[in-house]
Amino acid sequence: MSTLALKGPYWVTVRQYRRTLWLAGGLVVLALAVIGGLRIWDAQTPDVYVQDGYQVPSHDNRGYATLRWAMEYFSMGVVLLPLLVGAFVAGPLIARELESGTYKLSLTQSISPARWLGSKLLTSTAAAVGATLLLMAVYALGWVRVGGSSELHWADRGSYEATGTVLVAYVLLAVAVGALVGLLIRRTLVAMAVTGGVVGLVLLILGARRWDFLPVTTITGPADAESTVLTMPEHGLLMEQGLISASGERWPGWFCSSEPVPAIDGSCLPQEPIAAQYLDYHPGSHFWPTQLIETGIVLALAALALFAAFRVLRARHP
């Protein structure tokens, strides 16, 4: 990032953390080199054809296998990105200056406390969002080849975040929470740990509840000796599958047998007769509505944290 066009506290912030910015840029370049190189290696072995002209990667294509392995680890790194951003903002960017008292020098340069904090947040937000968008672009480069394969389903952790809008929202939340925690705690290491814990908790909670935002699609079928187990449509996300009793009660899971329909053998089924089988799933069309709902929730939390950060700053430095 060039510092020539920046002035005042923005230039100071970029200059002060230029090594971190260079490191972030280096990580983006490294990711591009790895994923791009593996895509080139993968292209050296043509796909093979199976029935109905459907193409699949050759078993001899080590480039494809390595690309899938790299994308799985890339997915894990994507989930951790907001935690790293939040920890940096809370610790080195805010808490360390408050802890050491160096922020007082900035306040003597005709800069208000609000402008001091705003310049740091704007600079860190621009850098974090820019790096995030570039990493998402690199992820998409690999995703177009391996997306939908094992461990890389559109609803899997990491893949879900990196292919939608929620990752940027979580990064913005991390910046806001980091600023608030840094102002409240004013101790570098403690602020970093607390911010990582708060952002991680939000990731866990919303990640566990995101598939409750929209109602599932349910398909049912008979459960008799001539029936087969219901199958989910292609690209869907299975939520629950089981049996329906004569009274309408649901019993998730197959009770004793993996045969076509367990109701054939009632020896280990509930005493009440089985009326049907059911399958709940989210179709692929639920991806973007779920993304937008979760993004809105995360951005609202980020706005609240940012508002609280400036209120704390105003209370301590009127």
> Has residue 272 got a pLDDT over 80?
no
Stated as kind and residue range, the H or E segment containing 200 is: helix 188-209
Please tell me the pTM assigned to this model.
0.89
Looking at residue 58, what is its pLDDT? 82
What does the pLDDT average to over 133-162?
A: 93
Average pLDDT over every residue of 178-199: 94
- Give the 3-state secondary structure of residue 65: helix
Long-range contacts of 215-219 (CB under 8 A, 24+ apart): 216/240, 216/280, 216/281, 216/282, 217/280, 217/281, 217/282, 217/283, 218/278, 218/279, 218/280, 219/278, 219/279, 219/281
In this predicted model, what pLDDT tens digit does every residue of 14-37 receive, in sequence order? 887 889 889 999 999 999 999 999
pLDDT band at 53 (very low <50, low <70, confident <90, very high): low
- Between CA 127 and CA 318, with CA 175 as vertex, the angle to 5 degrees is 115
CA–CA–CA angle 259, 262, 263 (5° rounding): 140
Per-residue pLDDT tens over the stretch 151-185: 899 999 999 999 999 999 999 999 999 999 999 99
Q: Are 194 and 216 in contact (CB under 8 A)?
A: no
Please tell me the least confidently modeled range out of 43-52, 76-85, 90-99: 43-52
Question: Which of the residue ranges 10-14, 187-191, 262-266 would you say has the lowest mean pLDDT?
Answer: 262-266
Asked if pLDDT for residue 297 goes beyond 50, the answer is yes
pLDDT of residue 243: 84
pLDDT over 90 at 80, yes or no: yes
Please report which confidence band the pLDDT of residue 318 belongs to, taking 50, 70 and 90 as the band edges. Answer: low
The band of 251, judged by pLDDT with boundaries at 50, 70 and 90, is confident
Cβ–Cβ < 8 Å for 192, 181: no
Q: In Å, how far are 227, 257, 272 from 266, measured between CA atoms?
A: 15, 10, 10
Is the per-residue pLDDT at 259 higher than 80?
no
pLDDT tens, 205-240?
Answer: 999 999 999 999 999 988 776 677 888 888 899 999
pLDDT for position 108: 66
Contact 255, 269 (CB under 8 A): yes
pLDDT digits (tens, 9 = 90+) for 103-115: 666 666 667 888 8
Output the six-digit token pair for 277. 């089988």
Q: Please give the share of the chain, as a percent, with pLDDT higher than 90.
A: 56
